Structure 1
Amino acid sequence: MIEVRTQPEAPVFTIVGQPSPNLADLLPALKSVFEAHGYRYEEAPEFPRLVLNCITPASPKPYRRKAQGTLVVSLLELSSIPSEPISTLYPYLVRALSNQLVVLTPDQQAHFLTLELGYYVEPEGPDFVERLYRRIQPIASSVLVVNNRFEADLEPELWQGDSCTQALSWAGAKLAEWDLLPAPFPLEEILSPEDLRHIKRLYGIGGLSYGNLSIRKDAQRFWMSASGVDKSRMREVGRDFLLVKGYDPQTNDIVLSVPPGVTPRRVSVDAIEHWMIYREHPSVGAIIHIHAWMDEAPSTQFNYPCGSYQLAEAVAEKVREAPDPSQAVVGLKNHGLTLTGPTLEDIFSRIEGRLLKQVPMS
């Protein structure tokens, strides 16, 4: 078990924004459910654990977090759900700088959307508000591990890369060939420059792109793709590839070796997940994460956010339970797959022709 900072015994939450009439009717019951589960409500806390942010279609106003540990769930009421919900609703989620968007409709259905493109529906019926809580709780309880600490101590012989980075370039091109690299979501097109700087500073992202790859360098270190990079065109050490050398539980930092004189990109937010797997299983030589699915893949139970300790721990547990952890296939609920192998080539040979591009949502 890794020591990380976790939420306090009575995490603080608050409600902000201007709710629509139906949302205003729902909020007291939702507030009571959170309090019944141990959350403490405050009117205007400086560092809340969870913010329920009421937005409108005309004004998806963001809550301006002061700390990375604050998770925001935005609540929106619409008269109906559009025919293309993800592409239509995703801009609301991003404009409101949310970790999760919950859209309520007059028939009392709740439609959930996450940054990782998870989309699922909670229907009307008994215990509706309790079920809303259960969907929000995995987001609200998560501890993000996305800080990077760059140390300019990379060996000179690795400044131009090595056979491992060449293998990552090959694998990224292969994912593109298989059409498994969805286009990064264009944050800069829907966020103001100020909001873009704010979200990058808080969550250490270079953009929203989907999928990542890594390969073991030695017993302690691994190369991994950078956040937001075009994985079909990875070339430069410190910009496209990062060498992860550890995790510091005291500062909650992923620690990376980079060449001197390079302004590095940040490593993929899933680095903590890969670090856990490599540390526990010396036989794992490579890991791929993709937004696709395989029939009968064992799946994590909850839709935790990328970059969270909880998601990393849930995936690591499924790898541990696999008949052969060095060749594991793990489903991430409402999200995609994490696959381990002794080599990248081994992973591709095992999944070729077996992938489903549509991830099941539930």
Structure 2
Amino acid sequence: MFHFIDPEKPRPYRRKAQATFIVSVMETSEKSENIHKSAYPYLVRSLANHLMYILHHDDETTDIYFLTPEQGFYKLTYRKGEEETFFKRIYERLEPLAASQLVINNDFYDDLPEEMWNGDEITKSLSESGKKLDRMNLLPAPFPLEEYLTPRDMRHLKKLYGIGGLSYGNLSARRDGHSFWMSASGINKADMKTVGEDFLLIRGYDPDKNAIKVSVPPNITPKRASVDAIEHWMIYKEHPEVGAIVHIHAWIDGIRATEINYPCGTIELAKTVAELVRNSEEPSRAIIGLKNHGLTITGTDLNDIFERIEGKIIPQVPMS
């Protein structure tokens, strides 16, 4: 659904179902030195899955910038007389995203064994790795949703999607053949301490409920699993030799990448990344690019990943 918003008073579109894909559309003639910084708050304020930020120029050309919650940012330029081909290009960009299926529901089970309530060596390594990402400047500051949304809109977002914050990047490590520890959603990954809040034990995926299965300690209000849990689960399930996965919003030259920028947390993105890992020369040590988004990196363990990417990371993700 297209949702047209007024720059002066952007109104949110409150869905009645998760599956409703909202593209907010906003027009302006005001120039900005940093269009992403100027436009991104409108994506958030309108509670959209995608924003089309239309910027008109004096020379009768128009740039349409596309923004995603994952900070994807690219543009198409319209010139007079290109209506037919131009709108086809817009459709080709948006249709795969709008038709994709989210897997962001969680099923929590308060059955985590007591000996794991305070974590283990794996959660300790995740905590240390989160600090490494911070030292490498690979943990952008979480977007302050509460500064742009009313309490009512925050409640709506949490009820519909379970979102309480927007943070970027995640990491996980295999515990055994059936489960893995993963950083939770919306947390400070440079300061992970608590099981059930910072670390979650992912036990699998329930296709009947379309939900990620999570084990937590009793008597705790758990944070939600990262939206990328479905992607990590697919990789661990298929490749027993993969011991850890890191996802960052950065880039490395010369890598294979997805061709469509599917939203985070969709089956389509997970399957595409899993296929690229499968077809890589060494699935247990793959580096996969996510178009307009970042990297998914597999390794035998977390140390293996950091040793391989040291000195190769490009902070800016190429957009196209």
Shorter-chain TM-score: what band? over 0.9
Among 246, 252, 263, which residue is 2:221 paired with?
A: 263
Match of 1:98 in 2: 48
| In structure 2, distance between residues paired with 1:317 and 1:189 | 39
Is 1:294 the counterpart of 2:252? The answer is yes
Shift of residue 314 of structure 1? 1.1
- Look up the match of 1:109: 63
| Secondary structure, counterpart of 1:165 in structure 2 | helix
Q: Distance in 2 between the 1:142 and 1:202 partners?
A: 17
Q: Which amino acid aligns with 1:102?
A: M
Report the counterpart of residue 142 of structure 2 in structure 1: 184
Alignment RMSD, CA only?
0.9
Q: Distance in 1 between matches of 2:123 and 2:116?
A: 10
The equivalences for 1:307-346 within 5 A come to 307-346=265-304
| 1:196 alignment partner, SS class | helix
Amino acid at match of 2:34: E
1:280 to 219, 234, 238: 238
Q: Is the 8 A contact 1:99 1:139 kept in 2?
A: no
Q: 1:305 aligns with which of 256, 259, 263?
A: 263
Code of the residue aligned with 1:103 in structure 2: it is Y
Matches within 5 A, 1:208-287: 208-287=166-245
Aligned to 1:68: 18
The residue number in structure 2 matching 1:143 is: 101
**2:5 partner letter:** I
Q: Give 5+ residue unaligned stretches, structure 2.
A: none
CA drift at 1:245: 0.3
**Equivalent pairs: percent with the same residue?**
56
For residue 203 of structure 1, report the CA deviation from its aligned partner.
Answer: 1.5
TM-score, normalised on structure 1?
A: 0.85
CA deviation string 1:88-133 (max 9, x = no partner): 1111000000010001233232110110001001122541000111
Find out whether 1:121 has 2:75 as its counterpart.
yes
Q: 1:347 aligns with which of 300, 305, 308?
A: 305
Q: CA deviation at 1:87?
A: 1.2
CA distance in 2, matches of 1:175, 1:211: 9
Match of 1:159 in 2: 117
Between 135-144 and 178-187, the greater mean CA deviation after superposition = 135-144
Alpha-carbon separation, structure 2, partners of 1:82 and 1:134: 27
The structure 1 segments of at least 4 consecutive aligned residues displaced by more than 6 Å after TM superposition are: none
Question: What per-residue deviation string (whole Å, max 9, x for no partner) do you get for residues 315-355 of structure 1?
Answer: 11111111000000000000000000000000000000000
CA distance in 2 between counterparts of 1:219 and 1:286 reads 13
Within 1, Cα distance between the matches of 2:185 and 2:164? 5
Instruction: Report what 1:15 is aligned to.
Output: none
How many residues end up aligned between the 2 structures?
312
**Paired AA for residue 111 in structure 1:** Y
Amino acid at match of 1:169: S
Does the CA-based 8 Å contact 1:298-1:331 persist in structure 2?
Answer: yes
- d(CA) in 2 for partners of 1:99, 1:123: 21
